[in-house]
């Protein structure tokens, strides 16, 4: 018995898929959402345990999830298993691909940092001549950022910096601690602004598609969702040149099934959407699908101590709080050593110190930990990675996943631009800390492997020219009019900013465009 | 099929089911038997079982490190994490034996780092102090340990192999000790609130193909 065509098929239930479902169903369009993994039940799937109760005393099973540095024995079962869904890369140039296939995807566990891209990102080529501009500007996306920031309840302040665009924020009235004020003062002679961070507050502890986007979609009666199905490929109707539907496999039984759709939206996460297009051999007349893979440099940083806070002597107002230093390099003055820039997350900590920050052991270490308790101050880097066409993903036909779907091969590595940026970030952080009167305990100049940031972007970049881009400015495939890709694979450049707000704003804008195109009968 | 034959078949099936039920029961009329445990109502309460971890009563059998490597690791652990009343030291917490198990199950590069590092400690102790590491004085051991220590940041241990071993071993010894049942018991006995708890996520709707 043939089933009817669904109107819009959405693949993926994270932030971008959730936004697409939310917008389209609100406009009366029926959607079917497919998700590769199961729905989470907080009461059934987790329980409070002590570390000593775990089989490996919280070390985690050795060799499990070798590329997910964020994994620990408590949360190991929430990440995609690397043996179940492998990928390949050159061992000399490792890549950390960090995935969640639970319903809601990575929106369940993201870090909440919420920033807009600026025209230093959207029009980066105009600024420094490298790469390509986005086909849109901040002005095009601002109205959508406004709505996203309202849904996610972003808290932050208006700072008036073009590289850190202001937005629709809940004001952050928290005062600066004294240690932060000293750090801010140390930045002033260097022209380095220290600002309040911006975070999504969400609701009831969640800032996820599952609580902020999907419930309204389900409430319309227009959304149906199927968990535990892994999409194998998209089908092209050769007569129309349009995508006709998808083949998927039941995650448990391996039963092969198919569904027809009038429109298909890929929202499976940057590299999974691209993997689907490559395996389907679709939408790639430009040859750009898979290319221009970017993420962000994380790892380099500095750990310090505020001397006045040691031995229990600090006042209650001395320590505490977070800050964000937005990109300050290559704004008005060009650096000779690198283009683009980085941000720094800053923290003043009231709790215990990390024993690793002290070159001692035994009783002496315990004395140090007691003395330095409550005096920690740290800075960590978030750096822009340049987009190169040779940094890419392809299909490794020799390896398949647990459902016999060919896997991705990832080729990328950081370049001199990123490494020079790292040196500047660590040296500048240490200089500011010392100017503020802090003791620098440890510095790290080594970045985590590419991918660690969990901010993979690009590989289906948007653009005005179908010869050099995969999608138009509406996240619509140049080649196939009823195919949209709404996750971070559409990015042209990545900036230093957490991409979530931009992913949501683009998905919102694209979905409203699609709804209008469907209403006019163009799709 | 004729209607009377249909009902004859239905009755046969029903009788067979009851007969099966009867064979499973310990005796008596099958219709008065207790419901199967699989079909107990959702409101059924199971009395709590106060389960303990094996470490409360048993010791880990060390199978990976050589006798000398294990002795070196035990001495290093005692020095890195001595007992501090009321908390156990690494030895009483079974940390060296636990690490023998953990490192033995680890990928090759981690196994090699530990074996090379422990061997180096043994060699340096013999060369500089004329005795194996477990037998040299605390002052002598301090010299060998400190040349391997440096301040570092989580995720980025030193590049030098010996310093990397010493730094990582220190972290592992601390963690194996503070995450032990003995440490937890001492914490409770001293009236403090145990730390190090978090939500443990069970396998979520695990792939049934992997279970069969």
Look at residue B196 in the predicted model and tell me its pLDDT. Answer: 85
- What is the interface size between A and B, counted as CB pairs within 8 Å? 144
The model carries a pTM of 0.94
Look at residue A3 in the predicted model and tell me its pLDDT. Answer: 75
Q: Chain A partners of B82 at a C-beta cutoff of 8 Å? A: 362-363
User: A58–B175: do the CB atoms touch at under 8 Å?
Assistant: yes
User: B156–A299: do the CB atoms touch at under 8 Å?
Assistant: yes
Q: Chain B partners of A355 at a C-beta cutoff of 8 Å? A: 170-171, 174
DSSP calls for B117-159: HHHHHHHHHHHHHSS-GGGS-HHHHHHHHHTT----BTTB--S
Tokens of B190: 């001293």
Grade residue B210 by pLDDT with cuts at 50, 70 and 90.
confident
DSSP E strand boundaries for A201-278: 223-226, 229-237, 242-250, 256-266
Instruction: For residue B149, give the nearest of A38, A76, A361 by CB distance.
Output: A361
User: B204–A38: do the CB atoms touch at under 8 Å?
Assistant: yes
What integer best gives the mean pLDDT of chain B? 87
Mean pLDDT value across residues B58-71: 96
Q: Is A205 left (phi over 0), alpha (psi -120 to 50) or beta?
A: left
How far is the alpha carbon of A173 from chain B, nearest alpha carbon, in Å? 31
How far is the alpha carbon of B158 from chain A, nearest alpha carbon, in Å? 10
User: A48–B198: do the CB atoms touch at under 8 Å?
Assistant: yes
Grade residue A29 by pLDDT with cuts at 50, 70 and 90.
very high
Report yes or no: A449 and A262 within 8 Å, Cβ to Cβ: no
DSSP calls for A478-522: SS-TTEEE-SGGG-S---SS-SHHHHHHHHHHHHHHHHHHHHTT-
Q: Chain A partners of B105 at a C-beta cutoff of 8 Å? A: 61-63
DSSP calls for A313-359: ---TTTS--EEEE---TTSSS--SS-SS-EEEEEEEE-SPPPGGGSS
Instruction: For residue B200, give the nearest of A47, A102, A354 by CB distance.
Output: A47
Instruction: For residue A48, give the nearest of B152, B199, B208 by CB distance.
Output: B199
Tokens of B20: 């099966």
Look at residue A256 in the predicted model and tell me its pLDDT. Answer: 98
User: A442–B151: do the CB atoms touch at under 8 Å?
Assistant: yes
Mode of pairing for the β-strands spanning A406-411 and A88-89: parallel
Q: What is the pLDDT of residues A247-299, one digit of tens each?
A: 999 999 999 999 999 999 999 999 999 999 999 999 999 999 999 999 999 99
Closest to A149 in 3D by CA, of A107, A212, A204: A212
Mean pLDDT value across residues A160-164: 98
Mean pLDDT value across residues A309-334: 95
Q: Rounded to the nearest 10 degrees, what angle do helices B95-104 and B108-129 cross at? A: 130
User: A46–B202: do the CB atoms touch at under 8 Å?
Assistant: yes
CA distance A389 to A290: 9
User: A51–B79: do the CB atoms touch at under 8 Å?
Assistant: no
Identify the residue among A69, A356, A358, A453 best suited for mutation to test binding to B, counting B beta carbons within 10 A and taking the highest: A356
Look at residue B29 in the predicted model and tell me its pLDDT. Answer: 52
Q: Chain B partners of A442 at a C-beta cutoff of 8 Å? A: 151-153
CA distance A267 to A485: 6
User: If DSSP codes are grouped into helix, strand and coil, which group holds residue A407?
Assistant: strand
CA distance A491 to A135: 10
Mean pLDDT value across residues A74-93: 97
Look at residue B166 in the predicted model and tell me its pLDDT. Answer: 98
Q: What is the pLDDT of residues A354-409, one digit of tens each?
A: 999 999 999 999 999 999 999 999 999 999 999 999 999 999 999 999 999 999 99
| Nearest residue of B to residue A83, measured between CA atoms | B210
User: A62–B181: do the CB atoms touch at under 8 Å?
Assistant: no
User: B172–A59: do the CB atoms touch at under 8 Å?
Assistant: yes
User: A359–B150: do the CB atoms touch at under 8 Å?
Assistant: yes
How far is the alpha carbon of A436 from chain B, nearest alpha carbon, in Å? 21
Look at residue A283 in the predicted model and tell me its pLDDT. Answer: 98
Instruction: For residue B80, give the nearest of A74, A357, A362 by CB distance.
Output: A362
How far is the alpha carbon of A464 from chain B, nearest alpha carbon, in Å? 42
Using a 10 angstrom Cβ sphere, with 0-12 exposed, 13-18 middle and 19 or more buried, the burial of residue B22 is: middle
CA distance B113 to B23: 61
**Residue B17: pLDDT over 60:** no
User: If DSSP codes are grouped into helix, strand and coil, which group holds residue A389?
Assistant: coil
User: A38–B153: do the CB atoms touch at under 8 Å?
Assistant: no
Mean pLDDT value across residues B93-111: 98
Instruction: For residue B179, give the nearest of A48, A58, A358 by CB distance.
Output: A58
Distances in Å between the alpha carbon of A352 and those of A53, A310, A370, B190?
A: 23, 11, 8, 20
Cis peptide before A426 (omega within 30 of 0): no
Report yes or no: A177 and A317 within 8 Å, Cβ to Cβ: yes
Tokens of B167: 């730094």
CA distance A146 to A238: 41
**Residue B2: pLDDT over 70:** no
Mode of pairing for the β-strands spanning A223-226 and A199-200: unpaired
Q: Which residues of A441-468 are buried (b: 16+ CB within 10 A; e: fewer)?
A: bbbbeebbbbbbbbbbbbbbbbbeeeee
| Nearest residue of A to residue B150, measured between CA atoms | A359
In chain B, the largest separation of any two C-alpha atoms, in whole Å, equals 99
CA distance A298 to A290: 23
Instruction: For residue B181, give the nearest of A52, A62, A76 by CB distance.
Output: A52
How far is the alpha carbon of B152 from chain A, nearest alpha carbon, in Å? 5
User: B179–A77: do the CB atoms touch at under 8 Å?
Assistant: no
Instruction: For residue A77, give the nearest of B167, B179, B202 by CB distance.
Output: B202
How far is the alpha carbon of B83 from chain A, nearest alpha carbon, in Å? 9
Grade residue A16 by pLDDT with cuts at 50, 70 and 90.
very high
Q: How crowded is the C-beta side of A186, counted as CA atoms within 13 Å?
A: 18
CA distance A40 to A219: 19
Identify the residue among B155, B166, B170, B210 best suited for mutation to test binding to A, counting A beta carbons within 10 A and taking the highest: B155
| Nearest residue of A to residue B200, measured between CA atoms | A74
Q: Chain B partners of A46 at a C-beta cutoff of 8 Å? A: 199-202
CA distance A10 to A490: 16
Look at residue B42 in the predicted model and tell me its pLDDT. Answer: 83
Instruction: For residue B203, give the nearest of A77, A359, A363 by CB distance.
Output: A77
> A508-517, B118-127, B152-161, B190-199: which has the minimum mean pLDDT?
B190-199
> How far does chain A reach from its first CA to its final CA, in angstroms?
26
> A394-403, B121-130, B194-203: which has the minimum mean pLDDT?
B194-203
Q: What is the pLDDT of residues A458-515, one digit of tens each?
A: 999 999 999 999 999 999 999 999 999 999 999 999 999 999 999 999 999 999 999 9
The distance of Cα A242 from the centroid of its chain, to the nearest Å, equals: 30
Mean pLDDT value across residues A407-431: 98
User: B80–A74: do the CB atoms touch at under 8 Å?
Assistant: no
How far is the alpha carbon of A6 from chain B, nearest alpha carbon, in Å? 27
% of chain A at pLDDT higher than 70: 100
Report yes or no: A73 and A61 within 8 Å, Cβ to Cβ: yes
Grade residue B208 by pLDDT with cuts at 50, 70 and 90.
confident
**Residue A314: pLDDT over 50:** yes
Mean pLDDT value across residues B101-119: 98
Instruction: For residue B179, give the nearest of A51, A102, A356 by CB distance.
Output: A51
Residue with tokens 């080529």: A125
CA distance A31 to A478: 23
DSSP calls for B191-210: TPPP--EEEEEPP-S--HHH
User: A359–B170: do the CB atoms touch at under 8 Å?
Assistant: no
Identify the residue among B92, B141, B152 best suited for mutation to test binding to A, counting A beta carbons within 10 A and taking the highest: B152
Tokens of A150: 């309202």
Mean pLDDT value across residues A38-64: 96
């Amino acid at each position: 018995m043939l089933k009817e065509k669904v109107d819009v098929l959405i693949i993926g239930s994270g932030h971008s898929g959730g936004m697409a479902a939310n917008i389209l169903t609100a406009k009366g369009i029926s959607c079917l959402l497919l998700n590769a993994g199961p729905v989470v039940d907080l009461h059934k799937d987790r329980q409070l345990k002590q570390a000593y109760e775990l089989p490996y005393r919280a070390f985690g099973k050795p060799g499990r999830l070798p590329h997910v540095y964020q994994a620990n024995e408590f949360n190991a079962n929430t990440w995609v298993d690397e043996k179940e869904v492998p990928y390949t890369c050159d061992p000399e140039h490792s890549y950390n691909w960090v995935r969640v296939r639970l319903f809601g995807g990575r929106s369940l566990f993201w870090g909440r940092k919420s920033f807009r891209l600026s025209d230093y990102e959207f029009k980066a080529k105009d600024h420094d001549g490298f790469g390509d501009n986005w086909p849109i500007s901040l002005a095009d996306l601002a109205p959508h950022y406004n709505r996203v920031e309202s849904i996610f309840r972003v808290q932050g302040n208006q700072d008036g910096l073009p590289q850190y665009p202001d937005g629709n924020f809940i004001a952050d009235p928290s005062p600066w601690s004294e240690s932060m004020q000293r750090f801010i003062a140390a930045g002033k002679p260097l022209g380095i602004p220290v600002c309040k961070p911006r975070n999504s507050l969400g609701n009831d502890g969640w800032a996820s598609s599952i609580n902020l986007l999907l419930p309204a979609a389900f409430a319309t009666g227009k959304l149906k969702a199927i968990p535990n199905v892994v999409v194998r490929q998209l089908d092209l109707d050769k007569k129309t040149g349009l995508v006709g539907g998808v083949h998927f496999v039941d995650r448990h039984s391996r039963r092969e099934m198919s569904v027809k759709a009038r429109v298909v939206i890929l929202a499976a996460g940057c590299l999974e959407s691209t993997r689907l297009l490559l395996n389907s051999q679709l939408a790639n007349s430009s040859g750009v699908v898979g290319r221009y893979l970017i993420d962000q440099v994380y790892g380099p940083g500095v750990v310090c101590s505020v001397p006045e806070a040691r031995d229990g002597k600090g006042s209650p107002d001395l320590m505490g709080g977070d800050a964000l230093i937005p990109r300050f390099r290559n704004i008005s003055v060009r650096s000779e050593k690198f283009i683009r820039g980085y941000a720094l997350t800053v923290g003043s900590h009231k709790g215990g110190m990390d024993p690793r920050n002290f070159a001692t052991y035994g009783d002496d270490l315990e004395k140090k930990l007691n003395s330095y308790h409550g005096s920690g101050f740290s800075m960590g880097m978030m750096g822009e990675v340049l987009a190169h066409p040779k940094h890419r993903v392809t299909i490794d036909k020799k390896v398949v996943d647990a459902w016999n779907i060919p896997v991705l091969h990832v080729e990328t590595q950081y370049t001199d631009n990123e490494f020079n940026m790292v040196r500047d970030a660590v040296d500048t952080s240490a200089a500011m800390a010392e100017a503020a009167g802090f003791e620098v305990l440890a510095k790290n100049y080594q970045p985590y492997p590419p991918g660690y940031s969990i901010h993979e972007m690009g590989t289906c970049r948007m653009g005005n020219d179908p010869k050099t881009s995969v999608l138009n400015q509406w996240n619509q495939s140049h080649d196939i009019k009823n195919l949209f890709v709404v996750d971070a694979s559409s990015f042209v450049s990545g900036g230093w900013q957490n991409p979530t707000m931009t992913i949501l704003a683009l998905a919102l804008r694209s979905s409203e465009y699609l709804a209008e195109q469907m209403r006019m009968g163009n799709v | 099929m004729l209607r009377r034959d249909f009902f004859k078949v239905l009755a046969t099936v029903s009788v067979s089911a009851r007969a099966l039920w009867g064979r499973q029961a310990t005796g008596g009329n099958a219709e008065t038997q207790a419901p199967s445990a699989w079909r107990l109502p959702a409101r059924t309460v199971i009395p709590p079982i106060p389960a303990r971890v094996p470490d409360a009563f048993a010791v880990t059998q060390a199978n990976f490190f050589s006798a000398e490597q294990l002795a070196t690791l035990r001495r290093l652990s005692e020095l890195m994490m001595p007992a501090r009343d009321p908390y156990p030291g690494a030895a009483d917490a079974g940390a060296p034996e636990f690490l023998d198990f953990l490192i033995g199950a680890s990928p090759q590069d981690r196994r090699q780092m530990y074996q090379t590092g422990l061997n180096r400690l043994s060699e340096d102790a013999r060369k500089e102090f004329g005795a194996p590491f477990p037998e040299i004085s605390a002052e002598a051991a301090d010299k060998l340990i400190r040349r391997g220590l440096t301040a570092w940041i989580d995720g980025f241990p030193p590049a030098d192999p010996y310093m990397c071993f010493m730094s990582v071993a220190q972290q592992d010894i601390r963690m194996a000790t503070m995450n032990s049942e003995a440490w937890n018991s001492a914490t409770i006995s001293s009236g403090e609130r145990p730390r190090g708890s978090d939500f443990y996520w069970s396998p979520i709707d695990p792939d049934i193909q992997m279970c069969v």
